Amino acid sequence: MLRCGAIFAAVVAVACLPFIVADPSAFWEDTVEFGAGTYKIVGYGLSAMLVRAGILADRDGAYPFALIAILTWLPLTAYLLYTVNRVRQLWPAAAAFAISILALLFIGRTFNNYYLVWPLTGAIVATAVAVWESSDRTVAPADT
């Protein structure tokens, strides 16, 4: 599990490091500030439901992404990590990733079809790993 976490961290670092080195403040503004307060809620999905429910006044207000992520996505992801750690198999990790990303993208203001690619990829990988793991158990030689 630790090795998978290190691989994930390395991929994120390699993907982000050039932008952080080039202009750290621009990276912060484009990735964190934009999503956490400057983005208007105009769109479909959760943002429209928040306006309709009267939680937010109108579609021109700032979307409370950081607060919603802390209250919903972070506990969900922590629970999924806890569950995956208990199971000690690979396929639940891929499934948990897909669920976590699906939740994060949904609360990220829009739930468009192109956002389904990432969770769908995770679900397909989880299914493939589950099939591979179960076929490995059926093919393994019996103890004598």
Domain positions in the chain are: 64-139
What's the pLDDT score for residue 34? 66
Rounded distance between C-alpha atoms, residue 109 and residue 63, angstroms: 8
Res 44: pLDDT: 63
Q: Give the pLDDT of residue 107.
A: 75
All residues at 6 or more sequence positions from 85 whose CB lies less than 8 Å from its CB, including other chains: 1
SS (H, E, C) 8-75: HHHHHHHHHHHHHHHCHHHHHHHHHHHHHHHCECCCCCHHHHHHHCCCCCCCCCECCHHHHHHHHHHH
Instruction: Take residue 94 and report the two structure tokens written for it.
Output: 């891929």
Rounded CA Rg of the chain: 19
Rounded to two decimals, the pTM is 0.55
- Tokens 């793991």 belong to 133
Taking alpha carbons only, the member of 2, 33, 112, 127 closest to residue 24 is: 33
Residue pLDDT tens, the chain, 144 long: 567 667 777 877 888 889 889 999 988 887 777 655 556 666 666 667 778 888 778 777 677 777 888 999 999 999 998 988 888 777 788 888 888 888 887 777 555 555 667 777 777 888 888 888 877 766 555 555
Q: Report d(CA 87, CA 91) in Å as an integer.
A: 10
